[in-house]
Amino acid sequence: MAFFCLVLIICSTTPVFAGIEVTNIYPLTDNFSSDYHYPAWSPDGKQITYMNDQAIWIMDADGSNPHFIYDGMKWDGDPCFSADGKEIYFASESRKPRSSTYINLFKMNVDGSNITQLTDGADRRSPSISPDGSMLAYLSNIAGNYDIWVMDITNKSHRQLTFTSEDEGKPSWSPDGGEIIYSLKGNLWLTDVELDTSWQITHGTSNDVDPFFLPSGEKIVFISDRGGETNLWLIDTEDDERQLLTDDRKVEVSPAVGPYGKKIVFGAKANETFDFWMLEMENPEAKDEVSDINIEDTNVDVTENENVALTSENNQNMDEGSSGLLGKINNNLALFAGGLVLGIILFLVARLIFRKM
């Protein structure tokens, strides 16, 4: 009985740090006449941009309201949102008179307007914006094979980051913007953007591709054929622990993790074409979603070229918000302390009963 009470106490007072648990997998699109590729989330998690039939499309995160926003009547793909969610970077075929056809980088507003070409010449594709929006990583074959380059968004300068003789895969940023992860010769690699140092994450004969960080920066989702089937896998960068996320014998590609770490959209070929699927998961490291703030409900008057002044009512609301947060913290601490004391008392009582028995 004492042992039972001790287990009860530990379970009631100690947080459980369980691994990621897949709770649901379902098709997001179901159109056999279309071919969906390269999904990318908006920063607020409300929309997904993607390539469909060589054009750039966008839809709501639940798969509703799909519509194309740009079709240059040639190959257009590899879209990704800007860090503020107002623009979309993408790759598109372009050709000058009496010259070869190249894939170059462009940007546009999310409604498809104000298209601007960013690069010219050799192939440049697979853009990936840094978390702070200051750098754009991409692939370029200007040196003879596909290496990873970065472009400064402000001054438009370009810098080569990798120098291998093999083709690197699509780059993806770490949440802190310090590293870029990619695939090389069937393994996952990380490169420090400032130090230009690289190190290998996975080893072996399997084909590991399309890596994507979870928001915590401690785990990476990727596609692998280890075990004989192409599935979604998870690897912990700290202890190298692996976890299989899907096991349904579909050809799966291009996973993109939602900004809060609770959903993964990926491509899967169950028939002749690729559709998008959504994976939902219980993630102890997930971020809380931020709800919308209605500016019209605030009491802050903003006039162009004038300083913003907070009224006493605003200050009172801010104080109430701060005290409310502190109150919640204090309440949680009090509940934890109370539970701990109660647990100790129950343990001592159980121990006393056990001795008398």
pLDDT in tens, 313-341: 443 343 434 333 334 334 444 444 555 55
The percentage of residues in the chain with a pLDDT greater than 90, rounded to a whole number, is: 61
| Averaged pLDDT score across all residues of the chain | 81
pLDDT score, position 312: 36
**Which residue has 């299989």 as its token pair?**
244
Q: How confident is the model at residue 250 (pLDDT cuts 50, 70, 90)?
A: confident
For 36-93, what is each residue's pLDDT tens digit?
999 999 999 999 999 998 999 999 999 999 999 999 888 999 999 999 999 999 999 9
CA–CA distance, 244 with 236 (Å, rounded to integer): 12
Q: How confident is the model at residue 350 (pLDDT cuts 50, 70, 90)?
A: low
pLDDT score, position 322: 38
pLDDT at 305 over 50: no
**Total H helices, total E strands in the chain:** 2, 24
Sorted by where each starts, the structural domains of the chain and their CATH numbers stand as 22-282 (2.120.10.30)
Strands 172-173 and 179-184: antiparallel
Neighbours of 181 (CB within 10 A): 22
255 and 221 Cβ atoms separated by less than 8 Å: yes
pLDDT score, position 289: 76
Q: How confident is the model at residue 148 (pLDDT cuts 50, 70, 90)?
A: very high
